[in-house]
């Protein structure tokens, strides 16, 4: 059976792996399963294996496997959605490798919907063919649960649940592992290869469909370690998140509109066609902006998604979970329109990777939403995200590992030493007080980001937010708990009682949110045009000179390739 604790980490072998995977969603799980079983793998997840943004994915997974479809058509649709910023080789790789990944999921036992024994294909916005596979309206959960079961059967994988990675271990320009907090202990874990699969950063916004764990950890750690990042200004806002007072944000799948639901305002008017000829089936960024501008025009706080045009039997068959959640809040989609509004959903930007999921740092890889593979460009095509997790996770089967060399055992073979508590000036406040303060700071940050860098952006608001955030980050970087980042490789540290696991996680997540907020704001101010998920009120049109990537390394922002003046 798979180990699920760090009790063996006192030994040199216990804290040293061939591959360290950070993240327990579809990308991390599939990557771990793709790595040959002869290699020793540590899989770190903040929650349990079943809690991730992948687990929340309702829409489905795209693959050109229908008789009337072709890889070339899937590529073309993806390129159009990406608004000129997709990397064509990455898109070709994604679409051409879809079929074997779907076949492997079927073999593992994922129960995709079927029609007369054949895999059922549905149509979603901006797809030219019916190519999206579903498992009812809980596709992500169906996939993640099966992958988690498979991981738990692999004796070479040690699952480290409720563990938080604070930093990457860098030595001589190479990533050698990560600093991980788990069970009141802080310790470096070494590996030949480290894989970041931590998901996106939707929690940096006040309104998001992402789970609480989506705090941009992988992107923040990679940036602090010196990795190149790309296109961080491009955030996709899902048009239809449940907007019932008191209810948490809940995504109403793209597939509902694909099946025939209408977007209407308070008067029942289908306003989306005023903004795009495809109406509700326009790309997500177009529909989100249509709702945003229509709400500005009407003064309302929400619009409605009318599912009544869909036959009741079809609605109950395709979307049982959506019906269940809506009814929990007193809304029956069979008889009443559902109140919705946009929410942050997917981060197109991330850590720059190549076709083998390698970052710009040797020994460091990234897969899933925290990676920028070049597939999504400025605006992700619906249902390509789960596919990207699989296709690029599968590339890790080719990791250039060396037998008999797990991590850097030379550094970890000495007797573990503890940091002197006198060097860590812990605050005297209780964990409850500290958590309350962190929660307040996090709310302040997420509202700032929603006001300045959400669906519609403008230079003055961006600069004001950057100024506020600069001061907050300066204060944060002077916090005494920053000494945790100074733990030297080879050392372990028993966390004091005043710093328990929930507090370590909350503190670490807030630091990462500060970092990715800075990256998003500065990237959004840098790109003086509108394209895909990035809309500037002061630069409302796309510009040919900006049909390039925004590349970030350290505190340097550049266009890639450079544009000559």
3-state DSSP call for residue 539?
strand
Integer Cα distance of 54 and 45 in angstroms: 13
Beta carbons within 10 angstroms of residue 117's beta carbon: 5
Structure tokens belonging to residue 196? 């970041």
Cα-atom radius of gyration of the chain, to the nearest Å?
Answer: 23
Q: According to the model, what pLDDT value does residue 353 have?
A: 98
Residue among 479, 437, 459, 434 nearest 521 (CA): 459
Distances (CA, A) of 517 to 219, 251, 260, 514, 522: 11, 23, 36, 5, 8
Q: Looking at residue 286, what is its pLDDT?
A: 86
**CA pair distance 336, 33, nearest whole angstrom:** 44
Number of Cα atoms under 13 Å in the Cβ half of residue 331: 21
Per-residue pLDDT of the chain (565 residues; tens, 9 = 90+): 344 454 444 344 458 999 999 999 999 999 999 999 999 999 999 987 765 545 555 568 999 999 999 999 999 999 999 999 999 999 999 999 999 999 999 999 999 999 999 999 988 878 999 999 998 777 888 899 999 999 999 999 999 999 999 999 999 999 999 999 988 888 899 999 999 999 999 999 999 989 889 999 999 999 999 999 999 999 999 999 999 988 887 889 878 998 999 999 999 999 999 999 999 988 778 899 899 889 989 999 899 999 999 999 999 998 998 999 999 999 999 999 999 999 999 999 999 999 999 999 999 999 999 999 999 999 999 899 999 999 999 999 999 999 876 554 333 333 334 433 334 455 555 666 788 889 999 999 999 999 999 999 999 999 999 999 999 999 998 887 787 887 878 778 778 777 777 888 999 999 999 999 999 999 999 999 999 999 999 999 999 999 999 999 999 999 999 887 6
Gap between the Cα atoms of 316 and 334, Å rounded:
9
Domain boundaries 235-345, corresponding CATH code = 3.90.700.10
DSSP 301-367: S-EEEE-TTS-HHHHHHH-HHHHHHHHHTT--TTTSPEEEEEEEEEE--EEE--TT-B-SSTTEEE-
Q: Which residue in 531, 462, 522, 539 sits closest to 232, CA to CA?
A: 522
- C-alpha–C-alpha distance, residues 306 and 52, integer Å: 29
Within 13 Å and on the Cβ side, how many CA atoms surround 54?
33
Region for 250 from its dihedrals, namely left if φ exceeds 0, alpha if ψ lies in -120 to 50, beta otherwise: beta
Token pair for residue 67?
């008789």
| Local structure of 133: helix, strand or coil | strand
Nearest to 232, CA basis, from 543, 546, 562, 518: 518
Return the H-helix or E-strand segment holding 287.
helix 284-298
Rounding to the nearest 10 degrees, give the CA dihedral for residues 132, 138, 139, 141: 170
Interhelix angle 26-34/139-152, nearest 10 degrees: 40
Q: What is the pLDDT of residue 411?
A: 34
Cα distance between residue 532 and residue 457, in whole Å: 13
Specify the DSSP class assigned to residue 142. H
pLDDT at 505: 92
Q: How far apart are CA 285 and CA 377, in angstroms?
A: 13
Q: Which helix (H) or strand (E) holds 18?
A: strand 16-22
pLDDT the model gives residue 218: 98
Question: Which residue in 360, 347, 297, 384 sits closest to 534, CA to CA?
Answer: 347
DSSP class of residue 157 equals: E
| Superfamily name and number for 17-233+346-402 | FAD/NAD(P)-binding domain (3.50.50.60)
Of 45, 42, 39, 41, the residue nearest 26 (C-alpha)? 45
555 neighbors 371 (Cβ within 8 angstroms):
no
Contact in structure between 385 and 346 (CB atoms under 8 Å): yes
Name the DSSP letter for residue 67.
T
Q: What is the pLDDT of residue 429?
A: 57
DSSP 462-528: HHHHHHHHHHHHHHHHT-GGGGGGGPPTTEEEEPPTTS-HHHHHHHHHHHHHHHHHHHHHHHHHH--
Q: Which residues contact 387 (CB under 8 A, 6 or more apart)?
A: 61, 62, 63, 94, 98, 101
Convert 454-477 into a string of H (helix), E (strand) and C (coil). Answer: CCCECHHHHHHHHHHHHHHHHHHH
557 in helix, strand or coil? Answer: strand
Instruction: Look up the pTM and report it.
Output: 0.91
- Here the tokens at position 271 are 């306003």
Q: What is the DSSP letter of 422?
A: G
Is 531 one of the catalytic residues? no
The residues spanned by each domain of the chain are: 17-233+346-402, 235-345, 429-560
138 vs 30: CA distance, rounded Å: 18
User: What are 162's strand-pairing partners?
Assistant: none
Amino acid 211: pLDDT: 87
**Does the domain formed by 429-560 have CATH 1.20.58.100?**
yes
Q: How far apart are CA 82 and CA 2, in angstroms?
A: 40
Asked if 135 and 112 count as a contact pair (C-beta separation under 8 A), the reply is yes
To the nearest 5 percent, what fractions of the chain are helix, strand and coil?
40, 20, 40
Which one of the listed residues 40, 176, 257, 284 is annotated catalytic? 284
- Quick one: CA dihedral 222, 225, 226, 232, positive or negative? positive
546: three-class secondary structure by DSSP:
helix
Sign, Cα dihedral of 105, 368, 166, 46: negative
Please check whether the two domains, 235-345 and 429-560, share a CATH topology: no
């Amino acid at each position: 059976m798979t180990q699920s604790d760090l009790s063996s980490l006192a030994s040199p072998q216990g804290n040293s792996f061939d591959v360290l995977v950070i993240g327990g969603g579809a990308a991390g799980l599939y990557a771990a399963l793709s790595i040959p079983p002869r290699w020793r793998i540590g899989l770190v997840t903040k929650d349990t294996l079943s809690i991730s943004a992948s687990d929340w994915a309702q829409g489905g997974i795209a693959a050109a496997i229908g008789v009337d479809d072709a890889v070339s058509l899937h590529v073309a649709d993806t390129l159009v959605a990406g608004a000129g910023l997709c990397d064509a080789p990455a898109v070709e790789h994604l679409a051409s490798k879809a079929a074997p990944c779907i076949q492997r999921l079927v073999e593992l036992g994922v129960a995709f919907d079927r029609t007369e024994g054949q895999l059922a294909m549905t149509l979603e916005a901006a797809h030219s063919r019916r190519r999206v596979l579903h498992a009812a309206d809980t596709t992500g959960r169906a996939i993640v649960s099966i992958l988690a079961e498979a991981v738990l059967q692999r004796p070479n994988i040690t699952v480290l649940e409720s563990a938080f990675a604070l930093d990457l271990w860098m030595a001589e320009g190479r990533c050698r592992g990560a600093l991980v907090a788990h069970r009141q202990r802080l310790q470096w874990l070494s590996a030949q290869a480290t894989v970041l699969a931590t998901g996106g950063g939707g929690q940096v916004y006040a309104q998001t469909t992402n789970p609480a764990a989506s705090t941009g950890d992988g992107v923040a750690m990679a940036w602090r370690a010196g990795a190149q990042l790309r296109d961080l200004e491009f955030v996709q806002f899902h048009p239809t998140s449940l907007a019932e007072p008191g209810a948490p944000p809940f995504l109403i799948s793209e597939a509902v509109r694909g099946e025939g639901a209408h977007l209407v305002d308070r008067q029942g008017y289908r306003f989306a066609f005023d903004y795009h000829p495809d109406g509700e089936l326009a790309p997500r960024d177009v529909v989100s902006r249509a709702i945003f501008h229509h709400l500005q025009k009407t003064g309302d706080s929400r619009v409605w998604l009318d599912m009544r045009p869909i036959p009741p039997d079809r609605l109950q068959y395709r979307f049982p979970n959506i019906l269940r959640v809506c009814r929990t809040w007193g809304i029956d989609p069979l008889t009443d329109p559902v109140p919705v509004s946009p929410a942050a959903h997917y981060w197109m930007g991330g850590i720059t990777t190549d076709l083998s999921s390698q970052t710009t740092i040797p020994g460091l890889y990234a897969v899933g939403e925290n990676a920028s593979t070049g597939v999504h460009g400025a605006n992700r095509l619906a249902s390509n995200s789960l596919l990207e997790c699989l296709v690029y996770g599968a590339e890790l089967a080719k990791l250039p590992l060396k037998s008999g060399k797990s991590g850097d055992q030379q550094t970890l073979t000495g007797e573990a030493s503890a940091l002197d508590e006198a060097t860590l000036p812990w605050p005297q406040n209780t964990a409850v007080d500290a958590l309350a303060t962190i929660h307040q700071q996090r709310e302040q940050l997420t509202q700032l980001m929603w006001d300045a860098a959400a669906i519609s952006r403008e230079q003055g608001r961006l600069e004001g937010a950057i100024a506020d955030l600069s001061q907050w980050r300066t204060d944060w970087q002077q916090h005494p708990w920053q000494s945790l980042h100074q733990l030297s490789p080879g050392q372990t540290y028993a966390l004091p009682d005043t710093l328990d696991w929930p507090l370590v996680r909350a503190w670490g997540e807030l630091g990462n949110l500060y970092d990715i907020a800075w990256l998003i704001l500065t990237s959004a101010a840098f790109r003086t045009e509108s394209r895909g998920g990035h809309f500037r009120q002061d630069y409302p049109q796309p510009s040919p000179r900006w049909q390039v990537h925004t590349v970030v390394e350290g505190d340097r922002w550049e266009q890639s390739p450079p544009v000559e003046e």
